[in-house]
């Protein structure tokens, strides 16, 4: 879908200190050379992202961990072998070479190897690690297609169009303690999958005051319309003007529009559809979006995390 020439062209943008939007398996990223602070500043500017919010650095080769981090933790190798390329971001102590702009002044850096051939080819062609947040305006819906990127960031000159993303929600972000891992942001790799490699740390949840991380902000991923979780819908809401985002397929009568996250209660399918359907409904001629909660198991925890943050202002 994307030609070699398009990748070379995008890689030149990166090498020249410009930003490029590109697909990953989770969502589209807005990338810049992670080792060029000026280029990284352009990412923050384009997204209108506050500088307290650190970026994930994308690599194409596990050896690059050594460039970005001074860690010699064997557990990182184990995690990388099992989950990379894939939607797991590991927060590690950063090396000198990683600028404070990337990490928002934290002594740590989030690293992941995306499971997407276009992303990997771009990183290799640019010959540098690529710092990339999701390619949306800060706080808004994440993009799972090139059209979503264009809608929010029309001024980005270089967008690699790899079609719709296959996972649909962001990577799981973890950090390591001496007794195991802690999830900082729920994502497409579940706690149970991680536990096949490492135990959950008993130290999780502490020391978060020093951890500015919008994955932890209460409001995020917001569509341009009010969005309510089903049990928080105002009593006087006229549902004939509202859209329903359904998971169970039940009690769908009376809404103006109904979209089904999955047709057979499959949470992975729901994750793939989540942002795409929210993008569609925020543009639809409805007064608001009503979202039915999904079961909080497996990837359902990440879906509910996004829905709660999207609906936070409307509780």
Residues that bind ligand TXA (CB under 6 A): 24, 26-27, 29, 53-56, 87, 89, 91, 103, 106, 108-110, 114, 132-134, 170-171, 173, 184-185, 211, 213-215
Task: List Cβ neighbours of 211 (8 Å cut-off, separation of 6 or more).
Answer: 106, 184
Which of ligand TXA, Mg ion, none does 261 bind, CB closer than 5 to 8 A by kind?
none
Q: Is the Cβ–Cβ distance between 33 and 10 less than 8 Å?
A: no
d(CA 204, CA 76): 18
Q: Is the Cβ–Cβ distance between 167 and 159 less than 8 Å?
A: no
d(CA 205, CA 170): 20
Which of ligand TXA, Mg ion, none does 35 bind, CB closer than 5 to 8 A by kind?
none
Shortest reach from residue 32's CB to Mg ion, in Å:
15
Which of Mg ion, ligand TXA, none does 14 bind, CB closer than 5 to 8 A by kind?
none
Shortest reach from residue 4's CB to ligand TXA, in Å:
22
Give the nearer residue to Mg ion in terms of CB position, either 86 or 187.
Answer: 187
Helix (H, G, I), strand (E, B) or coil at 247: coil
Shortest reach from residue 236's CB to ligand TXA, in Å:
35
d(CA 240, CA 98): 52
Residue 26 binds to Mg ion (criterion: CB under 5 A): no
Instruction: Find, among 301, 296, 3, 36, the residue nearest to 170 by Cα.
Output: 301
β-bridge partners, 228: 290
Interface of this chain with Mg ion, residues 117 to 136, rule: CB under 5 A: 134
Shortest reach from residue 133's CB to Mg ion, in Å:
5
Strand spans (E) along the chain: 20-22, 29-33, 56-58, 88-93, 108-112, 130-131, 172-177, 180-185, 227-229, 243-246, 257-260, 289-291
Give the nearer residue to Mg ion in terms of CB position, either 56 or 290.
Answer: 56
Shortest reach from residue 220's CB to ligand TXA, in Å:
9
Give the nearer residue to ligand TXA in terms of CB position, either 142 or 246.
Answer: 142
Which of ligand TXA, Mg ion, none does 168 bind, CB closer than 5 to 8 A by kind?
none
Residues in contact with Mg ion by the rule CB under 5 A: 134
């Amino acid at each position: 879908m994307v030609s070699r020439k398009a990748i070379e062209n995008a890689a030149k943008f990166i090498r020249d200190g410009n930003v490029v939007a590109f697909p990953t398996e989770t969502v589209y990223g807005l990338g810049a050379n992670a080792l060029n602070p000026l280029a990284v500043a352009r990412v923050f500017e384009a997204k209108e992202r506050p500088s307290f919010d650190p970026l994930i650095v994308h690599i194409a080769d596990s050896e690059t961990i050594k460039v970005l981090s001074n860690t010699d933790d064997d557990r990182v190798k184990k995690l990388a072998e099992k989950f990379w390329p894939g939607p797991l971001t590991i927060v590690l102590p950063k090396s000198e070479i990683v600028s404070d702009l990337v990490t928002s002044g934290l002594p740590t850096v989030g690293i992941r190897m995306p499971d997407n051939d276009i992303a990997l080819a771009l990183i290799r062609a640019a010959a540098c690690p690529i710092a990339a947040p999701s390619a949306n305006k800060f706080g808004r819906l994440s993009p799972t297609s090139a059209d979503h990127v264009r809608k929010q960031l029309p001024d980005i000159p270089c967008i690699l169009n790899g079609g719709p993303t296959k996972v649909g929600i962001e990577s799981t972000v973890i950090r390591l303690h001496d007794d195991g891992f802690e999830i900082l942001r729920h994502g497409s790799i579940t706690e149970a999958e991680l536990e096949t490699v490492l135990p959950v740390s008993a130290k999780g949840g502490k020391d978060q005051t020093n951890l500015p991380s919008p994955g932890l902000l209460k409001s995020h991923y917001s569509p341009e319309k009010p969005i309510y979780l089903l049990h928080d819908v105002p009593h006087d809401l006229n549902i004939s003007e509202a859209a329903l985002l359904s998971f169970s397929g039940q009690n769908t009568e009376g809404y103006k529009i109904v979209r089904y996250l999955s047709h057979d209660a499959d949470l992975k399918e729901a994750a793939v559809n989540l942002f795409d359907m929210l993008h569609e409904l925020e543009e639809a001629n409805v007064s608001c979006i009503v979202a039915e909660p999904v079961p909080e198991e497996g990837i359902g925890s990440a879906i509910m995390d996004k829905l709660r943050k999207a609906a936070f202002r409307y509780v």
